[in-house]
Structure 1
Amino acid sequence: MDAENLHYFEKAPIGKAVAHFAVPMMLGTSMSVIYSILNAYFLGTLHNTAMLTALALTLPLFAVIMALGNLIGIGSGTFISRLLGETKYEEVKHVSAFAFYSSVMLGLLVIAAGLPLLSQIVHGLGATPDSYGFTKDYVMVMLIGSPLVVLFFTLENIVRSEGSAMTSMVGMILSVVVNILLDALVIFVFHWGVIGVATATVVSNIVASGYFAFHIKYKSKFLTFSPRWFKMTKTISSNVFKIGVPVFIMSVFLGAMSLVLNHFLVEYGDPAVAAYGISSRLLQFPEFILMGLCEGVVPLIAFSYTANRLRMKQTVSFTVKSIAVLAAIFGIAVYLISDHLIGLFTNDPQLIEMGSYILHVTFLSLFITGLTTLFTGIFQATGQGTPALVMSIIQGVTLIPVLFIANKTHGFHGVVWSLVIADAAAFLVGAAMLYALRNKLQPELESLVH
């Protein structure tokens, strides 16, 4: 580890340390949301609701592929940060090599399992007759490119885990910039539509993965993807998967929740699905900013957990205050300009009205969503596998029955409000578990959950 990264891990003032780790992650995640929004924007210029519907329907698939990258990446990354705190540098090499090759193998399994079931997957995503062809095109491209997409998310996590937050940010921004340029090219020049947008996403992940691989090979002191360092021991696999599996389950549940929501919204027509697709992308911007903050500090929390517990407590406290400020700023902004935000993607009055309504409702839970993400990050950073697993399933377990009941009793409005109820349930469960573990993690953490 270079002296600068070690300084931020061990000695820098808490505000500066959090900024060093979190700001690059926040910028990187916000850029990734921007290109997700721009995907919808570029397709929106074609004034084809079926294309926007297809883009919304394929969100669960991308969530699953991303989940595989996070399974290995976050599981390995938090373990790497704890190992660095214990100065076990040789083990870091073994873990990073394990992460690289495991992610590629998982991506190849996705191709082998997914392509033969292409039509079934498209039907399962809830494609309507109008959107079926567009959805199938997107799914096919994403399945073929899945090994590189999985690798991208894995490498981003392990690079960040060693303290190279700027490198992580540059890689994410590189992916976004390439994606935006290719989106414009495939939509306005080649007229490829949805299949072009999917191709742009895959290629941008390939470019960013190459950048991360270059950093690991030539710049990193401890990370490696050399085959000679690859090994699968019980210690490595158990530490990676006890955190990675809950992360994977959480991501799959998020994808499943999106899938279930789409199935309910289809009852109210393609405009409802498209409105949710647009509003969810806009909501992702503040959510990913807060996620970037919470995920950005995970390496600092993990390192401090094995090296300096008081510093860990101070990091968490500062992050909670930052979440509150950011949530207030974003909440005020969205209530002032929600119609204009939805209007950037469509001139359909019905879409604008429905999308604005969804934004108003879902933004109510932004602060508690941020805290829930932080709770999950604390459990991951400190190697608390069981609480991390509970956090990964609680929101989905809550949302599905609430959806059925709310849809029957309140229709479209009930479907939208179900999201807020599920967020509140996840927050309460996370707060209760953090309180129960306060002595094990750090006695002073008790003050954070009062």
Structure 2
Amino acid sequence: MDTENLYYFEKVPVAKAIAHFAVPMMLGTSMSVIYSILNAFFLGTLHNTAMLTALALTLPLFAIIMALGNLIGMGSGTFISRLLGEKKYEDVKHVSSFAFYSSLVLGLVVMAVSLPLIDLIVHGLGATSESFVFTKDYVMIMLIGSPIVVLFFTLENIVRSEGAAITSMIGMILSVVVNIILDVLVIFVFHWGVIGVASATVISNLVASVFYALHIGYKSQFLTVSLKWFKATKDILSNVLKIGVPVFIMSIFLGAMSLIFNYFLVEYGNQAVAAYGISSRLLQFPEFILMGLCEGVVPLIAFSFTANKLRMKKTIGFTFKTILVLAVVFGVIVYLISDHLIGLFTTDPQLIVMGSYILHVTFLSLFITGMTTLFTGIFQATAQGTAAFIMSIAQGITLIPVLFIANEVSGFHGVVWSLVIADAVTFLVGAIMLYVLRNKLQPGIDQLA
């Protein structure tokens, strides 16, 4: 970590420090969502609902692979930031080397175990006879490329953890730009359809991973990818896993919830699944902006937790106010132009109506999902493993029974509204735990009390 990054950790006003850490992350995540939206848009121009359905059905698989990257990346990243706050720079090298090689091994294990089971996985994702071939094509490429995808998410996290927020952003944007260019080629020039889209994702992640590895190897003072620094000590494993495992479980629950949600939507036809796929991608834009804000400040909170708790308090308070403002702005925009947004992806009037309705309902919980992400980030940054674990399962435990009940009571409308109910319950759980832990984390948490 160079002196400029250390300066932002310790010296500059909180608002400026948050901007330094969060704005690049927000831009990077928003670019990722723009890619996801363009992905659906490009496939939508082929007027093949089965392809759009396959794209929606494979979201849980991508969530699981991403979860493995975040397991190592978030666990190692928050540990690295705390170590930097304690000025234990040699330990940082050991943790970063561990993160690099363990993420590759995890990806290889996923590929080796899953490829022989690919037909079972595709059926498990809910593919129908119409979408089976397209879904299998996407799944096959993603499984082959899983070591690369896991590595990408790991490296992005640890680069950001040392304060190199702009470098982290450049890597994410590089991945998105390469992805979009390749998408245009594979869809409109080579006509590879879904298999081309999946290949573009893997290749773009590879390009960004190489970029991050070069940064770590040549520009980072404390991070390393050198095998000679690799250690898997009890201290490293416990600190990485107590935060990484809850992050992984949360991602798995999100993937499982998406899978279960798709199962319920399939009852109402492929159009319902496609409408949810489109609307969820549009919803990802403001959600990822808020996620970028909350995840961007995690290194700052983690560093301040070991170095300056008063600065942590100010960071949390400013982030809370920013979430509120952004949620209101995005909500107003969506309610004004939702039909036009859905209409960018399809001319099917039923898809437009269903997609617009899903957007209206799910946007009701935008603020509380932003706050839930902030709560989770605070628990991760301050090494509150139990609280992070509870947050990781709260939404899933709530959503599953609510889905069954709401589907029986209100059909399609109940399925959509179940998302808002689960988000609200998760928010309450996080707020209660934050209040309970406030004495332990003082003076960082009383700003929210």
Q: Is contact 2:309–2:443 with CA below 8 Å preserved after alignment?
A: no
SS at match of 1:232: coil
Q: Which residue of 2 aligns with 1:174?
A: 174
In 2, Cα distance between equivalents of 1:81 and 1:444: 17
8 Å Cα contact 2:310/2:443 also seen in 1: no
Tell me how far 1:290 sits from its aligned partner. 0.1
TM-score, normalization: structure 2? 1.00
Whole-Å Cα distance in 1 between the matches of residues 444 and 347 of structure 2? 53
1:263 partnered with 2:268 = no
Give the match for residue 346 of structure 2: 346
Q: Which residue of 1 aligns with 2:45?
A: 45
1:254 is matched with which residue?
254
The 5 Å alignment of 1:215-226 reads: 215-226=215-226
Counterpart CA distance in 2 for 1:422 and 1:217 is 43
Q: Once the two structures are superposed, what CA deviation does each residue of 1:21-79 show, in whole Å capped at 9, x if it has no partner?
A: 00000000000111111110110000000000000000000000000000000000000
2:290/2:323 contact within 8 Å kept: yes
Are 2:429 and 1:429 equivalent residues in the alignment? yes
**In structure 2, C-alpha distance between the alignment counterparts of 1:203 and 1:38, rounded to whole Å:** 17
The CA distance in 1 between the partners of 2:363 and 2:357, in whole Å, is: 10
* Deviation (angstroms), 1:444: 5.5
Identity %: 81
Cα displacement string for residues 326-366 of structure 1 (whole angstroms, at most 9, x for unaligned residues): 00000000000000000000000000000000000000000
CA distance in 1, matches of 2:40, 2:152: 22
| 1:106 alignment counterpart | 106
Preserved contact between residue 313 and residue 447 of structure 2 (Cα < 8 Å) = no
Pairs within 5 Å for 1:276-425 = 276-425=276-425
The one-letter code sitting in structure 1 at the alignment partner of 2:232 is M
Per the TM alignment, residue 442 of structure 1 is displaced from its structure 2 partner at its CA by 1.2
Task: Return the alpha-carbon distance in structure 2 between the equivalents of residues 389 and 19 of structure 1.
Answer: 28
State the Cα deviation string for residues 430-449 of structure 1 (Å, max 9, x = none): 00000000010114522413
SS in 2 for 1:383: coil
* Structure 1 stretches lacking a partner, 5+ long: none
In the alignment, does 2:242 pair up with 1:242?
yes
> What aligned pairs does 1:120-135 form with structure 2 within 5 A after superposition?
120-135=120-135
- Name the counterpart of 1:87: 87
Write the distance in 2 (CA, Å) between the matches of 1:114 and 1:24.
35
Unaligned 5+ runs, structure 2: none
Alpha-carbon displacement from aligned partner over 1:384-417 (angstroms, at most 9, x marks no partner): 0000000000000000000000000000000000
Partner of 1:64: 64
Q: Determine the structure 2 residue equivalent to 1:208.
A: 208
Measured on the aligned residues, the alpha-carbon RMSD in Å equals 0.5
Q: Distance in 1 between matches of 2:159 and 2:56?
A: 30
- 2-side partners of 1:101 and 1:267: how far apart? 43
Match of 1:33 in 2: 33
Partners in 2 of 1:274 and 1:447 — Cα distance? 42
> For 2:37 and 2:178, how far apart are their aligned partners in 1?
15
Matching residue's letter, 1:426? T
Which 4+ residue blocks in structure 1 deviate beyond 3 angstroms?
A: none
Specify the code of the residue in structure 1 equivalent to 2:93.
K
For 2:252 and 2:148, locate their aligned partners in 1 and report how far apart those are by CA, in whole Å: 19
Instruction: Tell me how far apart the structure 2 counterparts of residues 109 and 3 of structure 1 sit (CA, whole Å).
Output: 38
- Provide the C-alpha distance between the structure 1 equivalents of 2:403 and 2:444, rounded to a whole number of angstroms: 38
CA–CA distance in 1 between the matches of 2:443 and 2:13? 21
SS in 2 for 1:120: helix
Between the aligned partners of 2:25 and 2:11, the Cα distance in structure 1 is: 21
User: Does the Cα contact within 8 Å between 2:97 and 2:226 map onto a contact in 1?
Assistant: yes
CA deviations on 1:279-328 (whole Å, 9 max, x unpaired) are 00000000000000000000000000000000000000000000000000
Q: Following TM superposition, by how much is the alpha carbon of 1:262 offset from its aligned partner in structure 2, in angstroms?
A: 0.2
Deviates further, 319-328 or 437-446: 437-446
Q: Deviations for 1:225-253, whole angstroms, at most 9, x for unmatched residues?
A: 10100011000000000000000000010
1:126 is paired with a residue whose SS is coil
Where does residue 184 of structure 1 map in the other structure? 184
Aligned-partner residue type, residue 354 of structure 1: M
The amino acid across from 1:229 in the alignment is W
Q: Secondary structure at the match of 1:250?
A: helix
Q: Which residue of 2 aligns with 1:149?
A: 149
- Code of the aligned partner of 2:369: T
In the aligned structure 1, how far is the partner of 2:276 from the partner of 2:317?
A: 34
Show CA shifts across 1:95-139 (max 9, x none).
000000000000000111110100000000000110000000000
